[in-house]
Amino acid sequence: MLHQKQLAFIGGGAMAEALLKGLLTAKLVEPQQIMVCDVAQSRLDYLRHTYNVLTTVNGCDAAGQADIVFLTVKPQVIDDVLVTIAPVMTPAKVVISVAAGITIDRIEAKLGKAPIIRVMPNTPVAVGAGVSAFALGQNARPEHGELATLIFDAVGKAVAVDEKAMDAVTGLSGSGPAYTFLFIEALADAGVRVGLSRQTALLLAAQTILGAAKMVVETGEHPAKLRDAVTSPAGTTIAGLHVLEQKGVRGTVIDAVVAATERSREMGQLHGK
Protein backbone atom coordinates (compact mmCIF):
# COMPACT_ATOMS: atom_id res chain seq x y z
CA MET A 1 0.00 0.00 0.00
CA LEU A 2 2.98 2.29 0.59
CA HIS A 3 4.96 1.06 -2.40
CA GLN A 4 6.36 4.05 -4.32
CA LYS A 5 4.45 6.48 -2.08
CA GLN A 6 6.24 9.59 -0.90
CA LEU A 7 5.79 10.55 2.76
CA ALA A 8 6.30 13.98 4.30
CA PHE A 9 6.55 14.69 8.02
CA ILE A 10 5.81 18.30 8.84
CA GLY A 11 7.57 18.49 12.17
CA GLY A 12 10.57 16.36 13.03
CA GLY A 13 10.10 15.78 16.75
CA ALA A 14 9.93 12.60 18.81
CA MET A 15 6.62 11.40 17.35
CA ALA A 16 7.79 11.86 13.77
CA GLU A 17 10.98 9.95 14.57
CA ALA A 18 9.04 7.11 16.23
CA LEU A 19 6.77 6.77 13.20
CA LEU A 20 9.45 6.91 10.53
CA LYS A 21 11.62 4.50 12.53
CA GLY A 22 8.69 2.08 12.80
CA LEU A 23 7.95 2.29 9.09
CA LEU A 24 11.58 1.69 8.19
CA THR A 25 11.99 -1.15 10.68
CA ALA A 26 8.87 -2.85 9.32
CA LYS A 27 10.27 -2.34 5.80
CA LEU A 28 7.06 -0.67 4.68
CA VAL A 29 9.05 2.12 3.02
CA GLU A 30 12.60 2.94 2.01
CA PRO A 31 14.46 5.98 3.43
CA GLN A 32 14.26 7.84 0.10
CA GLN A 33 10.46 7.75 0.33
CA ILE A 34 10.50 9.91 3.47
CA MET A 35 11.05 13.66 3.71
CA VAL A 36 11.07 15.47 7.05
CA CYS A 37 10.49 19.20 7.44
CA ASP A 38 11.46 21.07 10.58
CA VAL A 39 12.57 24.57 11.55
CA ALA A 40 15.57 23.24 13.48
CA GLN A 41 18.43 22.41 11.13
CA SER A 42 20.23 20.45 13.86
CA ARG A 43 17.22 18.16 14.19
CA LEU A 44 17.09 17.61 10.45
CA ASP A 45 20.80 16.82 10.39
CA TYR A 46 20.28 14.20 13.11
CA LEU A 47 17.37 12.53 11.29
CA ARG A 48 19.17 12.55 7.95
CA HIS A 49 22.34 11.02 9.38
CA THR A 50 20.50 8.50 11.58
CA TYR A 51 17.86 7.25 9.13
CA ASN A 52 19.16 8.42 5.73
CA VAL A 53 15.85 10.20 5.04
CA LEU A 54 15.44 13.39 3.03
CA THR A 55 15.08 16.69 4.89
CA THR A 56 14.01 20.25 4.21
CA VAL A 57 13.11 23.43 6.06
CA ASN A 58 10.37 24.20 3.52
CA GLY A 59 7.03 22.69 4.50
CA CYS A 60 5.40 23.61 1.21
CA ASP A 61 8.07 21.72 -0.75
CA ALA A 62 7.74 18.67 1.50
CA ALA A 63 3.94 18.54 1.25
CA GLY A 64 4.00 19.27 -2.46
CA GLN A 65 6.15 16.24 -3.22
CA ALA A 66 4.27 13.86 -0.90
CA ASP A 67 1.40 11.44 -1.35
CA ILE A 68 0.92 11.19 2.43
CA VAL A 69 1.46 14.22 4.68
CA PHE A 70 1.95 13.71 8.41
CA LEU A 71 1.18 16.69 10.63
CA THR A 72 3.55 15.99 13.51
CA VAL A 73 3.69 19.47 15.03
CA LYS A 74 2.49 21.03 18.27
CA PRO A 75 -1.16 22.16 18.25
CA GLN A 76 -0.22 25.79 18.86
CA VAL A 77 1.48 26.04 15.45
CA ILE A 78 -0.96 23.94 13.44
CA ASP A 79 -2.78 26.90 11.87
CA ASP A 80 0.46 28.36 10.48
CA VAL A 81 1.39 24.95 9.09
CA LEU A 82 -1.99 24.47 7.42
CA VAL A 83 -1.78 27.89 5.78
CA THR A 84 1.72 27.07 4.54
CA ILE A 85 0.85 23.74 2.90
CA ALA A 86 -2.69 24.57 1.71
CA PRO A 87 -1.61 25.83 -1.75
CA VAL A 88 -0.07 22.46 -2.68
CA MET A 89 -2.75 20.18 -1.21
CA THR A 90 -5.05 18.19 -3.49
CA PRO A 91 -7.76 15.56 -2.96
CA ALA A 92 -5.18 12.94 -4.00
CA LYS A 93 -2.99 13.61 -0.95
CA VAL A 94 -3.76 11.95 2.39
CA VAL A 95 -3.24 13.96 5.57
CA ILE A 96 -2.51 12.18 8.85
CA SER A 97 -2.61 14.50 11.86
CA VAL A 98 -1.27 13.66 15.31
CA ALA A 99 -1.67 17.25 16.55
CA ALA A 100 -3.38 16.86 19.93
CA GLY A 101 -6.81 18.43 20.26
CA ILE A 102 -7.05 19.60 16.65
CA THR A 103 -10.31 18.43 15.11
CA ILE A 104 -10.79 17.06 11.63
CA ASP A 105 -13.22 19.89 10.81
CA ARG A 106 -10.57 22.45 11.62
CA ILE A 107 -8.05 20.81 9.28
CA GLU A 108 -10.62 20.28 6.51
CA ALA A 109 -11.56 23.95 6.68
CA LYS A 110 -7.99 24.83 5.66
CA LEU A 111 -7.13 21.95 3.32
CA GLY A 112 -10.33 21.48 1.33
CA LYS A 113 -11.10 18.03 -0.08
CA ALA A 114 -7.98 16.18 1.06
CA PRO A 115 -8.78 13.01 3.07
CA ILE A 116 -7.97 13.61 6.74
CA ILE A 117 -7.06 10.99 9.32
CA ARG A 118 -6.80 12.18 12.91
CA VAL A 119 -4.66 9.99 15.18
CA MET A 120 -3.98 9.91 18.91
CA PRO A 121 -0.84 7.80 19.47
CA ASN A 122 0.83 7.34 22.83
CA THR A 123 4.51 7.55 23.71
CA PRO A 124 5.33 3.80 23.62
CA VAL A 125 5.22 4.07 19.81
CA ALA A 126 8.87 5.06 20.34
CA VAL A 127 9.64 1.42 21.21
CA GLY A 128 7.15 -0.13 18.78
CA ALA A 129 4.63 -0.91 21.51
CA GLY A 130 2.22 2.01 21.36
CA VAL A 131 -1.48 2.15 20.74
CA SER A 132 -2.95 4.67 18.31
CA ALA A 133 -6.63 5.51 17.94
CA PHE A 134 -7.65 7.04 14.62
CA ALA A 135 -10.74 8.69 13.17
CA LEU A 136 -11.53 9.38 9.52
CA GLY A 137 -12.66 12.69 8.04
CA GLN A 138 -15.63 13.12 5.73
CA ASN A 139 -13.45 12.88 2.62
CA ALA A 140 -11.71 9.69 3.75
CA ARG A 141 -12.69 6.26 2.44
CA PRO A 142 -12.36 2.77 3.95
CA GLU A 143 -9.00 2.29 2.27
CA HIS A 144 -7.69 5.27 4.22
CA GLY A 145 -8.61 3.44 7.40
CA GLU A 146 -6.62 0.47 6.12
CA LEU A 147 -3.71 2.81 5.46
CA ALA A 148 -3.83 4.18 9.00
CA THR A 149 -3.96 0.65 10.41
CA LEU A 150 -0.96 -0.40 8.33
CA ILE A 151 1.12 2.59 9.40
CA PHE A 152 0.31 2.60 13.10
CA ASP A 153 0.43 -1.17 13.48
CA ALA A 154 4.10 -0.71 12.56
CA VAL A 155 4.63 1.02 15.92
CA GLY A 156 2.18 -1.00 18.04
CA LYS A 157 -1.56 -1.37 17.60
CA ALA A 158 -4.08 0.79 15.73
CA VAL A 159 -7.73 1.15 16.76
CA ALA A 160 -10.50 2.90 14.79
CA VAL A 161 -12.81 5.17 16.84
CA ASP A 162 -15.35 7.92 16.31
CA GLU A 163 -13.72 11.32 16.58
CA LYS A 164 -15.95 12.21 19.52
CA ALA A 165 -14.11 9.53 21.52
CA MET A 166 -10.69 11.17 21.08
CA ASP A 167 -10.77 12.96 24.46
CA ALA A 168 -11.51 9.66 26.18
CA VAL A 169 -8.66 8.04 24.24
CA THR A 170 -6.37 10.83 25.44
CA GLY A 171 -7.45 10.33 29.05
CA LEU A 172 -6.93 6.57 28.91
CA SER A 173 -4.16 5.55 26.50
CA GLY A 174 -2.63 8.97 25.84
CA SER A 175 -1.99 9.66 29.52
CA GLY A 176 -1.99 5.99 30.51
CA PRO A 177 1.78 5.45 30.18
CA ALA A 178 2.33 8.06 32.91
CA TYR A 179 -0.06 6.23 35.22
CA THR A 180 1.77 2.99 34.49
CA PHE A 181 5.18 4.54 35.11
CA LEU A 182 3.90 5.73 38.48
CA PHE A 183 2.68 2.23 39.32
CA ILE A 184 5.99 0.68 38.24
CA GLU A 185 7.84 3.19 40.42
CA ALA A 186 5.58 2.38 43.37
CA LEU A 187 6.10 -1.37 42.91
CA ALA A 188 9.86 -0.83 42.77
CA ASP A 189 9.79 1.33 45.90
CA ALA A 190 7.83 -1.42 47.62
CA GLY A 191 10.43 -3.95 46.55
CA VAL A 192 13.17 -1.82 48.09
CA ARG A 193 11.06 -1.48 51.23
CA VAL A 194 10.90 -5.26 51.66
CA GLY A 195 14.62 -5.78 51.04
CA LEU A 196 15.34 -5.90 47.30
CA SER A 197 18.03 -3.82 45.63
CA ARG A 198 16.76 -0.84 43.62
CA GLN A 199 17.98 -2.30 40.33
CA THR A 200 16.40 -5.70 40.95
CA ALA A 201 13.14 -4.20 42.21
CA LEU A 202 12.79 -1.95 39.16
CA LEU A 203 13.47 -4.81 36.75
CA LEU A 204 10.97 -7.08 38.51
CA ALA A 205 8.33 -4.34 38.54
CA ALA A 206 8.72 -3.31 34.89
CA GLN A 207 8.87 -6.87 33.56
CA THR A 208 5.84 -7.83 35.66
CA ILE A 209 3.77 -5.03 34.11
CA LEU A 210 5.02 -5.92 30.63
CA GLY A 211 4.19 -9.58 31.07
CA ALA A 212 0.76 -8.95 32.55
CA ALA A 213 -0.15 -6.59 29.71
CA LYS A 214 1.05 -9.13 27.14
CA MET A 215 -1.15 -11.81 28.71
CA VAL A 216 -4.23 -9.58 28.40
CA VAL A 217 -3.49 -8.73 24.76
CA GLU A 218 -2.47 -12.20 23.60
CA THR A 219 -4.99 -14.35 25.48
CA GLY A 220 -7.99 -12.06 24.97
CA GLU A 221 -9.15 -13.00 28.46
CA HIS A 222 -10.80 -10.49 30.78
CA PRO A 223 -8.27 -9.13 33.30
CA ALA A 224 -10.49 -10.31 36.16
CA LYS A 225 -10.21 -13.91 34.96
CA LEU A 226 -6.43 -13.65 34.69
CA ARG A 227 -6.29 -12.06 38.13
CA ASP A 228 -8.34 -14.88 39.62
CA ALA A 229 -5.92 -17.42 38.17
CA VAL A 230 -3.13 -15.84 40.26
CA THR A 231 -5.21 -15.49 43.42
CA SER A 232 -5.07 -18.58 45.63
CA PRO A 233 -7.38 -18.94 48.67
CA ALA A 234 -5.82 -17.32 51.74
CA GLY A 235 -2.65 -16.65 49.74
CA THR A 236 -0.28 -13.74 49.29
CA THR A 237 -2.01 -12.22 46.26
CA ILE A 238 -5.43 -11.88 47.87
CA ALA A 239 -3.80 -10.26 50.88
CA GLY A 240 -2.25 -7.62 48.62
CA LEU A 241 -5.43 -7.17 46.54
CA HIS A 242 -7.42 -6.65 49.72
CA VAL A 243 -5.23 -3.70 50.64
CA LEU A 244 -5.50 -2.19 47.14
CA GLU A 245 -9.30 -2.42 47.29
CA GLN A 246 -9.36 -0.97 50.81
CA LYS A 247 -7.32 2.02 49.63
CA GLY A 248 -9.63 2.62 46.68
CA VAL A 249 -7.01 2.12 43.96
CA ARG A 250 -9.60 1.05 41.38
CA GLY A 251 -11.74 4.14 41.95
CA THR A 252 -8.70 6.40 41.99
CA VAL A 253 -7.58 5.13 38.58
CA ILE A 254 -11.06 5.69 37.17
CA ASP A 255 -11.10 9.23 38.59
CA ALA A 256 -7.68 9.91 37.04
CA VAL A 257 -8.85 8.88 33.56
CA VAL A 258 -12.01 10.97 33.92
CA ALA A 259 -9.96 14.00 35.02
CA ALA A 260 -7.54 13.62 32.11
CA THR A 261 -10.44 13.25 29.66
CA GLU A 262 -12.09 16.41 30.96
CA ARG A 263 -8.79 18.27 30.75
CA SER A 264 -8.37 17.11 27.15
CA ARG A 265 -11.77 18.61 26.32
CA GLU A 266 -10.76 21.89 27.98
CA MET A 267 -7.50 22.03 26.06
CA GLY A 268 -9.31 21.32 22.81
CA GLN A 269 -11.53 24.31 23.45
CA LEU A 270 -8.48 26.47 24.17
CA HIS A 271 -7.02 25.46 20.78
CA GLY A 272 -10.21 26.37 18.98
CA LYS A 273 -11.76 22.91 18.94
Residues annotated within the binding site for NADP(+) are: 10-15
Distance CA(75)–CA(1), nearest Å, equals 29
Write the CB contacts of 271 (distance below 8 Å, at least 6 apart in sequence).
75, 76, 78, 101, 102
With residue 19 as reference, give the H or E element that holds it: helix 14-25
DSSP letters of 24-65? HHTTSS-GGGEEEE-S-HHHHHHHHHHH--EEES-HHHHHHH
Whether the Cβ atoms of residue 179 and residue 253 lie closer than 8 Å to each other: yes
Distance CA(13)–CA(132), nearest Å, equals 17
DSSP letters of 94-112? EEEE--TT--HHHHHHHHT
Annotated binding site: 10-15
